[in-house]
Structure 1
Amino acid sequence: MSASQTFDPWSPEFVAYPYDAYRELRAGPPVSWFEPTNQWLVPRHEDVNALLRDRRLGRTYLHVATHEEMGRPPDPEYLAPFWHLNRTGMLDLEPPDHTRLRRLVSSAFTPRRVNALRPTVERLAGDLVSAFVAKGGGDLIADVAEPLPVTVIAELLGVPVEDRPLLRPWSADICGMYELNPSREVADKAVRACVEFSDYLRALARLRSREPQDDLITALAQVDGLTEDELIGTCALLLNAGHEATVNVTGNGWWSLFRNPDELARLRADHGLLDTAVEELMRYDTPLQLFERWVLEDITVHGVDIPRGSEVALLFGSANHDPAVFADPERLDLSRRDNPHISFGAGIHYCLGAPLARIELVASFGALLRQAPGLRLVREPEWKAGFVIRGLKDLTIEV
């Protein structure tokens, strides 16, 4: 039950197009063992969806057992700042801590607050695209895809304009730890970013406690029962999760459109397709390819026994191309209505920022379609090395 030989997440060729390997995985056993990362790979939509909701699995196991009891090594001391920041955000917590923290954060990160951001998002997207068009194009990722969500999150949190250039490098360095088997160099950069970002957020949160503003950090600082560490972990999570995926949906999405010129022509002719187009682009070339879960008690998946203490790798990109769920999954169909893609997860860890991400994506794609109706690709892009958080290095465009 070993994984297909074509599943090679460190191969540039695989990262550039993993979907052939996924097809092989789905044609094989429902779960397969992948020795290089000591994980069980789960490639089919039905199983990924079910296991995301299965409370016998968790993002952590530390609420029920120690590392030793789960047969895992202790955390290296040098990673302590990374794990401290990571484990104070809700993504790596399980009930009851997750339930309490998500409820508290949701009381400040409300639908009303998110919807109130829509005019700001649309203005920012329009301004970025105007500047991009005025200079005749450039790198769509650096000039539009990256600045928009970082600026939106900074506006939401209340990060002063002069400090905003710090955010993207911190986020990129921290997110390096979410790749498979990260190196010590990657870990050291992530730890340094965690320390610097935590110190910055702590100082800003204390300032907002003394001098309240109309921003999310102030709102979180006023939430009764939310500790300072939890506030910091929440803000870090909102930055990391709140823009990495949006950046990559934008880059991967436009690259998908350029590779499918008939669909791009449909979208140019009918901007009313934008909402379904954004959902389809998230499905077609998924930004988060893999999400991990720990097995908290022995489970059996399609006759395969997976013991407590194991780790499963839920393959979002494969699930989103499963022909059992999506008709003609290899085809980009911007008007696809039946589209239960799993790009935002499922269950209790479903992405809290999904509504904001959709607002950002519709705004940026819409602004580009309106202001640069003839934008064209200059050269084929290269992919970054990461597989888990998968995106392009750049996307050079002329308008």
Structure 2
Amino acid sequence: MSASPTFDPWNPAFVAYPYDAYAALRDEPVVWFEPTRQWLIPRHADVNALLRDRRLGRTYLHVASHEEMGRPPDPDHLAPFWHVVRNGMLDLEPPDHTRLRRLVSSAFTPRRVLALKPTVERLATDLAEAFVAKGGGDLIAEVAEPLPVTVIAELLGVPVEDRPLLRPWSADICGMYELNPSREAADAAVRACVEFSDYLRGLARTRKAQPRDDLITALGQVEGLTEDELIGTCVLLLNAGHEATVNVTGNGWWSLFRNPDQLALLRADPTLLDTAVEELMRYDTPLQMFERWVLEDITVHGVDIPRGSEVALLFGSANHDPSVFTDPGRLDLARRDNPHISFGAGIHYCLGAPLARIELVASFGALLTAAPNLRPVREPEWKPGYIIRGLRDLTVEA
């Protein structure tokens, strides 16, 4: 089996709208994609099951070496990147993942997240009102990005004067999560990891000497959490905590503009905001693919996938699977039965999901209130990335 030629993650037209290609892919439950040497998994039930299957992992280094898995060793120039990433829980498996998630959860508590809600709502309102006062502009740069970055910075305890550093670091690090990243992207990610690590190490040590009511202080006080794990956790919280939120906001507004009946419905009934946010995450998924390594031989719908293989779980396709979602190509902000997997599933389910939901409801709500006539000026361009998929800009008039 080979992939339909319409599945082309480097093609701007595919990135702009991959859902027709996914419909063709779902005719087969497992598809081999030679350019990345991955098994594509396009159906919701299989994606959901494999996310929970302990025979797969985000890493294999807890059970085998690169050589034993038939993989080349890490290039030396990527060592700083992997050191940071492998000290965060996303790229760990039990027992290390279990230990680290438990330790981080003791500081990143529901109470701490809920306490941020008034701050999030105030920031969202301020951003929306300032945006409307100037008549609009780039909604991505002026509303979608500042809110989650500011919230994460507030949560961590990053001083105001240092916050402009965060977004460029995050963007460069996340470049390594795309398919077959270039050497230029790899070098940028390594530089960002070194600079961000050095910055966080200094800030963590300052907080140890002068504690404050912030997450870096709290993490520094967690017994058993190493300094490298603290840094890996903070980097992960920034990257995961704002990249997806930015793209849900941008993609979501563009979806609303292209479905004016649904936008009118939401403007008329703000009580739909909670279900609307879930539907916008499903309808135009911010994280299109999540990759896992096969730790033991598995068989999926009669297809044998050997140990050492990599599977690509297609979140965007799963979220449009008609066997799960009625009329999946239709934006339905009142959709109640909505088991989307935009936050993942299993042990790697997004730890920051409650905070993301608070931010998204606040952001959409603030703009709907402040700008009841918000409208796009022109069709936006998509960034080239496929896995972390979002708009370059979204120019609107308020």
Q: TM-score, normalised by structure 1?
A: 1.00
Match of 2:254 in 1: 255
Gaps of 5+ in 1: none
Match of 2:100 in 1: 101
In 2, Cα distance between the equivalents of 1:205 and 1:324? Answer: 48
Match of 1:385 in 2: 384
Read off the aligned partner of 1:3 and give its amino acid letter: A
Read off the aligned partner of 1:8 and give its amino acid letter: D
Match of 1:12 in 2: 12
In 2, Cα distance between the equivalents of 1:4 and 1:96? Answer: 39
Following superposition, the deviation at residue 4 of structure 1 comes to: 1.0
Following superposition, the deviation at residue 23 of structure 1 comes to: 0.2
Match of 1:67 in 2: 66
Match of 1:118 in 2: 117
Following superposition, the deviation at residue 239 of structure 1 comes to: 0.1
Read off the aligned partner of 1:132 and give its amino acid letter: F
- Report 1:353-372 matches (<5 A): 353-372=352-371
Question: What are the superposed Cα offsets for residues 90-125 of structure 1, whole Å, 9 maximum, x if unpaired?
Answer: 000000000000000000000000000000000000
Match of 1:373 in 2: 372
SS at match of 2:26: helix
Question: What are the superposed Cα offsets for residues 54-91 of structure 1, whole Å, 9 maximum, x if unpaired?
Answer: 00000000000000000000000000000000000000
Match of 1:31 in 2: 30
In 1, Cα distance between the equivalents of 2:236 and 2:220? Answer: 16
| RMSD of aligned Cα (Å) | 0.3
Match of 2:316 in 1: 317
Match of 2:288 in 1: 289
Question: What are the superposed Cα offsets for residues 366-389 of structure 1, whole Å, 9 maximum, x if unpaired?
Answer: 000001011111000000000000
Question: What are the superposed Cα offsets for residues 197-254 of structure 1, whole Å, 9 maximum, x if unpaired?
Answer: 0000000000000000000000000000000000000000000000000000000000
Read off the aligned partner of 1:62 and give its amino acid letter: L
Match of 1:92 in 2: 91
Question: What are the superposed Cα offsets for residues 113-148 of structure 1, whole Å, 9 maximum, x if unpaired?
Answer: 000000000000011111101100000000000000
Detail structure 1 runs of 4+ shifted over 3 Å in the superposition. Answer: none
Following superposition, the deviation at residue 3 of structure 1 comes to: 1.0
Match of 2:140 in 1: 141
In 2, Cα distance between the equivalents of 1:293 and 1:4? Answer: 22
Question: What are the superposed Cα offsets for residues 275-315 of structure 1, whole Å, 9 maximum, x if unpaired?
Answer: 00000000000000000000000000000000000000000
In 2, Cα distance between the equivalents of 1:235 and 1:13? Answer: 35
In 2, Cα distance between the equivalents of 1:318 and 1:21? Answer: 9
Q: Give the percent of matched residue pairs that are identical in Structure 1 and Structure 2.
A: 87
In 1, Cα distance between the equivalents of 2:380 and 2:5? Answer: 26
Read off the aligned partner of 2:5 and give its amino acid letter: Q
Match of 1:206 in 2: 205
Match of 2:152 in 1: 153
SS at match of 2:45: helix
Read off the aligned partner of 1:256 and give its amino acid letter: S
In 2, Cα distance between the equivalents of 1:143 and 1:323? Answer: 36
Match of 1:232 in 2: 231
In 2, Cα distance between the equivalents of 1:72 and 1:115? Answer: 43
Q: TM-score, normalised by structure 2?
A: 1.00
Gaps of 5+ in 2: none
